[in-house]
Amino acid sequence: MPFDQWLLSERNIKLALYSGGLLLILSGLIFVGINWTRIPGFGKLAITMVITLAMYLGGAWLHRRPAYRIGGVALLAIASGFLSLNFVVTQSYILGPRGFAVENMLLLAASFCLLAYSVTAIYTQSWLLVVMSTGALASACAALLTIYHADFPAGLLAYSLVAGLLLVAAAGAGRRARLQFATIPLGLLAHLALPLLYLAGVIAWFAGEPWTLFASLFIILAAYVLTDWEWHRPVWQTWRQEHKFVSLLLQTPRWFSSVLGLSTLLLLSQQWQLADWQTILLFGLLGAAYLLIAGRLSEPNQPLAGLPLVLAAYGSSILATLLAITDTHSLIVALLANVLLLAVSARLFQNYNFMFGAIWLLLAPIYLILEQWLPDVVDRGLYLGLLCLLYVGAGYFFGRRRLAVGMPYLTAAAALSVIVITMTWPDGFVLPTVLVVVSLLYLTGALWLKQSALLLPALASFNLLIYALNREIWTAAQLDLALLLSYLTAGALMLLAGQFLPKRWRGWRWPLLFAGAVVIAGSYLISFNMRWEYTTTASLTTAVLLLAFAWWYRGRLQMGPRALPLLSYAGFLVLYIAQFVVIAGLGQGRDSTSWPLLTTPFAAGCLALSWLLHRQSIRPVYGTPLRFSGLAFLIIPLAAATAYGEYVIIGYSFALAALAVLIDALLRRTSVELTGALVLLFAGYELTVWQLPEHRPVFITLAACLTLTYAALSWLRLTHPYRDELR
């Protein structure tokens, strides 16, 4: 923006005019304060009156011309400020020496200035003059309070009445086109004053003047309610759409009145020293009243019109609950009132999310009632089970027409099923019955809602039923084996059922497969804390299932660019771990460093078995994974043998590994494996000689294997190149 345009902008012109006017008023104060003996009081009054009148006339003359209207408004505002100086001169030099009281002059000056400022504000449509008029009104109120020697409570009531009248006046001004300019400044001033007056009332309440606070709160609350009623009339709709700030201003009375009503009732209950149940009843009634009013105010085009009252209603219910938390009976009443409040909200606002809160919250008072009535936990669980059945019935009844209406009951019933199982867990007779009922309910719900995910809790209940039955049938010494066999059988049945379901039930397979996999995996992991025979049984079962599913899901559960059959590798790994369990179980109390001699033949056996699985259909699923697993399994015993440092273990382990790799290389004609066999022979030889150079049998064995390796390499040079397949 160019400098000349910025300098002559409307903002800078107003700033210069009002700054000059302020300096002029300060100079007038200095003139009045100086006691010139050669100018009598009437002379000073005449001078200030002439200046005031001249500025009023000049401001009016300028305001009538559109080009100079800004200057006219500024000059009239300065004249209004000078107007009060005339009364200062009159009191200081004319009436004051004759005994005229200052408070009387203040009342006279404030009244006259209020009239003059109001007329000037209407004439100029200026916010500044509206603010000055409000200040004159407050000064008149202060003068009256001083004249009648009013105390602090009376002053609080008077100022509350003035602030309330300002709020009502702001609402009334908007109904006339000529006065609409005063709506925003009057509303802002009132909204600034009323909270401060409320804080002053709270201070008075702590100072021992409670009824002053209540009277002030009543005035403020009445002003807010009347203003809210006025500002939400249709006449304000156009203005609300044109002015966003006005729309925000029109919402504040509803928010303030909601909070004030709540705080007033809280202070009244403290003042009257009501009992807890009486306070809870009052807050419940207030919340219900707020909610009914909010439902009345809410409209389709304004769904949030009653939001302040709704929040205040729930704030009232929360306060009632907090007050009743120390007494169980009062807490039950408060919770039931909250349930009723949520149900009414759902009906008023046609929003079934409130029903979720009502149905779920109802569980708390019912549990508290059962806790007072029934000391035994299992008995409480049975009654909650009956409530669960009622919820299921209600959810089915209401959900047949519209599922959203029945969902609050069904979700609460799902939570209750967990609670009931937990509470009836100690009773060996009741628990199986509860688990059977819960399983059937979830199964029925899955079929009714056509939701396969509901099979998961049904299967979970079924697995808990297995535990409950075994706990009652077997002794503590027999329980581990019984549980392991039961869960292995159940997991296998679930996996097989999921695999062989008919095609039309294909969408129901994944819960069975998932639950079966979890049960089998859990049984397998837990079996490591049992005897080695149990662990071996679990390992064999897990491996068989993994290998079976590897065949059924061939080409589907794969990873990487070479399509690794993960289930096959997992099954062989489980078998490899199982051999360690068997070795540890059979070799208890023996030397633990000899196990590489036992595990190396297992890895070599994997390689040998892979030679038999060379058919085109079987090889990708079992043959190749078995071969690479065998090669990988050789690493562990060889590394362990090297770490133990015993020449016998090192020699025979490396020799057997090299022989297995050599045979595999010859059968598949792979020079890489031949090189690996050669490396194994050299490594075994060096490690053995390092430990015991004079041990000839080992040396002879390694030399023979080395000779065979050289012969095989020579033969490969004369035959076909690399071929990774059996002839």
Render pLDDT for 546-570 as a digit per residue (tens, 0 to 9): 989 888 887 664 544 445 678 888 9
For 213-222, write each residue's pLDDT tens digit: 667 677 776 7
Least confident of 6-10, 101-105, 135-139, 720-724: 6-10
Distance from C-alpha of 168 to C-alpha of 715, rounded to nearest angstrom:
112
pLDDT confidence bin for 1, thresholds 50/70/90: very low
Q: Which residue from 136, 126, 120 is spatially nearest to 55, judged by alpha carbons?
A: 120
For 414-440, write each residue's pLDDT tens digit: 999 999 999 999 888 899 999 999 999
User: Crossing angle for the helix pair 430-449 and 455-473, nearest 10 degrees?
Assistant: 160
Per-residue pLDDT at 392? 92
Least confident of 139-153, 416-430, 476-490, 672-686: 672-686
- For residue 86, give the amino acid letter: N
Pair 423, 384: CB distance under 8 Å: yes
Q: Is the pLDDT of residue 11 over 60?
A: no
Long-range contacts of 9-15 (CB under 8 A, 24+ apart): 10/70, 13/70, 13/71, 14/70, 14/74
Its pTM surpasses 0.75: no
Tell me the domain boundaries of the chain. 274-373, 600-727
Structure tokens at 216: 């002030």
DSSP 408-437: HHHHHHHHHHHHHHHHTTT-TTHHHHHHHH
